[in-house]
Amino acid sequence: MGEAFEHVPHPHIQARRLAGPVRVADHYGHDAASAARRFNARLAVVITAAVGTMVCAYLFAALALVSLPAAIKSGDLIVIVAWVAQTFIQLVLLPIIIVGQNVQAKAADARADATYRDAEAVLHEATQIQAHLAAQDQVLTGLIDHLRAQDVVLARLQQGPGVAA
């Protein structure tokens, strides 16, 4: 009979446990190669946070509406279409899209957290199964040893009386 199985945990398990779940905020340039890249990433995040609000969307809409009377007064369809496309849509949709992306990023972070907790639970269950199997290995090893001892006794009995023990 072979030796009982000995579990060797994968090294990634402990590293992953220490690292925690990956979040969107983890990618804001903290690991960028240069100071300039880190600065640019942080500046972009700050600007995105400021522009990515519905308050900013309302302010941009108000700003865009300032030039609407002049576009209408021109009477030129191309000027009106250009105002809608280039002024209103671009100026107002930008912060609204960013707000939507922020909501999606929060949802992605929540999914990452949930997936991480699920993986931790699965890992815990697997560890419990390993402990259970180790306990069973001990019991089985004891039974095997007992059966081997019984085989020795039975073999001696089959050899008949007078056989030295």
Asked if the structure places residue 70 within a domain, the reply is: yes
Flag whether 39 is in a domain: yes
Please report whether residue 97 resides in a domain: yes
Residue 82 resides in a domain: yes
In a domain, 27, yes or no: yes
Question: Residue 85 and residue 65: Cα distance in Å, rounded?
Answer: 13
Q: Which of 130, 129, 111, 153 is nearest to 24 (CA)?
A: 111
Total H helices, total E strands in the chain: 6, 0
Q: By the 8 A CB rule, do 145 and 1 touch?
A: no
Q: Model confidence over 63-97: pLDDT tens digits?
A: 999 999 999 999 999 999 999 998 889 888 989 99
Question: For residue 144, is it within any domain?
Answer: no
Could you tell me if residue 159 is inside a domain? no
67: left (phi over 0), alpha (psi -120 to 50) or beta: alpha
Confidence of residue 1 (pLDDT cuts 50, 70, 90): very low
User: Domain range spanning residue 115?
Assistant: 11-120
In a domain, 154, yes or no: no
Q: How many independent structural domains does the chain possess?
A: 1
CA angle 127, 130, 132 (to 5 degrees): 110
Give the model's pLDDT for residue 165. 53
